[in-house]
């Protein structure tokens, strides 16, 4: 079992008493949010109404946002507010349990998967730590679900997650088809290229406790997602930042909106027409931030490369073709692709 005091939640409790944070959480000046967040007039990160009856317009705005930002928020997406609330309530209740109870779900040391509580996902270049605890578990397809990593407390956890997953898949399917149409392909092409009904949905819950020095540290270090797309719902505490035109911009909180990240696999399939978004998170002095990203990814053995339809003499392949599990291995271990 992992040591309880290594969890950021425990470190945050101590830090609030002494009003400072351990040195390993202090980022270099090149990364400190207080020094690197753009404070001028912020360009609006696109917010897209998924119920727009003008499908051509919808395809165009989604494609533009995915080319220019690699990130957008969607409203009127069809995922019931109740399902979002129940997911959030269940996750929050879990993270507020005593440490020993959460540790029952700890990711086994040396596991060859990401699932479990408190996982540190990436090796950090500068050996810095990030101000966040996690819980990861698959939510779809059924054959990939390990209920051992789904909290039994609260009792509503399983039903809330199953209900959320059911609705979320419909949203993901819509997005895959609009993204396909947006680069001149038939609506089914991207989803089929990602493994069709085998596409995997991995939920992560991020728990960012209050931090006495939010100016110096980060919740999640800058990265792109290795997924195809990520569909994220945050709590009401803002903190997501997007890198564009050499600047870090704050994403605003829109109640009940879903935040869509274009991930590496869509960038690869589209041969760079869509951009995988570089992003990070900041933390808050007084409030706990939480977020629920779902990473929608191909199955491990599935081969992903630029779609042949998008490659010719004038547009040579910009990315290698490889199994998703090999891509994931290189990404997690910071090896060249
Ligand atoms: O919390 C967020 O808004 C983003 C989280 C994220 O980027 C991640 O968990 O990979």
Q: Tell me if residue 167 is catalytic.
A: no
For residue 63, report the distance from its CA to the centre of ligand 1, in Å. Answer: 22
Counting atoms of ligand 1 from 1, which one is nearest the CA of 204? 9
Is the pLDDT confidence value at 250 over 60?
A: yes
SS3 139: strand
| Contacts of the segment 312-319: beta carbons below 8 A, 24+ positions apart | 315/271, 317/271, 318/271, 318/272, 319/267, 319/268, 319/271, 319/272
Residue 122 is predicted with a pLDDT of 53
Q: Tell me if residue 113 is catalytic.
A: no
Residues of the chain with pLDDT > 90, as a percent, come to: 89
For residue 305, report the distance from its CA to the centre of ligand 1, in Å. Answer: 25
Pocket test for ligand 1, best of 279, 282, 332 (most atoms within 8 A of CB): 279
Q: What's the mean pLDDT in 112-136? A: 82
Q: Of 135, 119, 130, 121, give the one whose Cα is nearest residue 22.
A: 130
User: Regarding predicted confidence, which is higher, 179 or 42?
Assistant: 179
Is the pLDDT confidence value at 4 over 60?
A: no
* Protein residue with least CA distance to atom 3, ligand 1: 240
Pocket test for ligand 1, best of 214, 240, 282 (most atoms within 8 A of CB): 240
- CA–CA distance, 161 with 150 (Å, rounded to integer): 9
Residue 99 DSSP symbol: H
For residues 271 and 306, the answer to whether their CB atoms sit within 8 Å is: yes
Using alpha carbons only, give the angle 86, 294, 116 rounded to the nearest 5 degrees: 85
SS3 148: helix
- CA–CA distance, 196 with 118 (Å, rounded to integer): 31
Residue 119 is predicted with a pLDDT of 58
* Protein residue with least CA distance to atom 6, ligand 1: 220
For residues 228 and 302, the answer to whether their CB atoms sit within 8 Å is: no
User: Regarding predicted confidence, which is higher, 120 or 28?
Assistant: 28
Is the pLDDT confidence value at 109 over 90?
A: no
Residue 104 is predicted with a pLDDT of 97
- CA–CA distance, 158 with 337 (Å, rounded to integer): 36
Residue 46 is predicted with a pLDDT of 98
| Residue among 191, 261, 279, 302 flagged as catalytic | 279
Is the pLDDT confidence value at 123 over 60?
A: no
Q: Of 9, 75, 89, 310, give the one whose Cα is nearest residue 184.
A: 310
- CA–CA distance, 333 with 274 (Å, rounded to integer): 24
Is the pLDDT confidence value at 2 over 60?
A: no
pLDDT tens figures, 277-325: 999 999 999 999 999 999 999 999 999 999 999 999 999 999 999 999 9
pLDDT tens figures, 61-87: 999 999 999 999 999 999 999 999 999
Q: Which tokens go with 253?
A: 């909180």
Is the pLDDT confidence value at 201 over 70?
A: yes
Residue 120 is predicted with a pLDDT of 67
Torsion sign (Cα): 109, 111, 114, 120: positive
Q: Which tokens go with 142?
A: 């059924």
SS3 13: helix
pTM score above 0.85: yes
| Residue among 223, 320, 323, 331 flagged as catalytic | 223
Task: Enumerate domains of the chain plus CATH numbers.
Answer: 22-298 (2.60.120.330)
Residue 42 is predicted with a pLDDT of 81
| Residue among 204, 244, 275, 302 flagged as catalytic | 204
SS3 295: strand
Q: What's the mean pLDDT in 47-74? A: 98
Q: Tell me if residue 223 is catalytic.
A: yes
Q: Tell me if residue 279 is catalytic.
A: yes
């Amino acid at each position: 079992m992992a040591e309880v005091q290594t969890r950021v939640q425990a470190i945050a409790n101590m830090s609030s008493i002494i009003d400072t944070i351990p040195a390993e959480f202090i980022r270099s000046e090149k990364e400190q949010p207080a020094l690197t967040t753009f404070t001028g007039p912020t360009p609006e990160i696109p917010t897209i109404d998924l119920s727009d009856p003008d499908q051509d317009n919808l395809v165009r705005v989604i494609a533009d946002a995915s080319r220019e930002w690699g990130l957008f928020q969607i409203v009127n997406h069809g995922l019931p507010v109740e399902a979002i609330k129940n997911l959030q309530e269940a996750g929050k209740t879990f993270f507020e349990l005593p440490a020993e109870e959460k540790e029952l779900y700890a990711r086994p040391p040396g596991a060859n998967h990401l699932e479990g509580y408190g996982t540190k996902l990436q090796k950090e270049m500068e050996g810095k730590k990030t101000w966040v605890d996690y819980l990861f578990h698959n939510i779809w397809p059924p054959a990939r679900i390990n209920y051992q990593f789904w909290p039994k407390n609260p009792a509503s956890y399983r039903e809330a997650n199953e209900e959320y997953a059911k609705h979320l898949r419909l949203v993901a399917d819509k997005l895959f088809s609009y993204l396909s149409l947006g680069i001149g392909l038939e609506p089914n092409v991207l989803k089929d290229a990602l493994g069709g009904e085998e596409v995997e949905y991995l939920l992560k819950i991020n728990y960012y406790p209050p931090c006495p020095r939010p100016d110096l540290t980060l919740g999640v270090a800058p990265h792109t997602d290795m997924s195809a797309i990520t569909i994220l719902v945050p709590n009401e505490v803002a903190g997501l930042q997007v890198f564009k035109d050499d600047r870090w911009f704050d994403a605003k909180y829109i109640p009940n909106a879903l935040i869509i990240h274009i991930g590496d696999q869509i960038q690869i399939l589209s041969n760079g027409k869509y951009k995988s978004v570089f992003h990070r998170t900041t933390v808050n002095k007084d409030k706990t931030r939480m977020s629920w990203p779902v990473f929608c990814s191909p199955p491990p053995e599935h081969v992903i490369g630029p779609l042949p339809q998008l490659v010719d003499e004038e547009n040579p392949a910009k990315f290698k073709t490889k199994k998703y599990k090999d891509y994931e291995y290189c990404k997690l271990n910071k090896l060249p692709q």
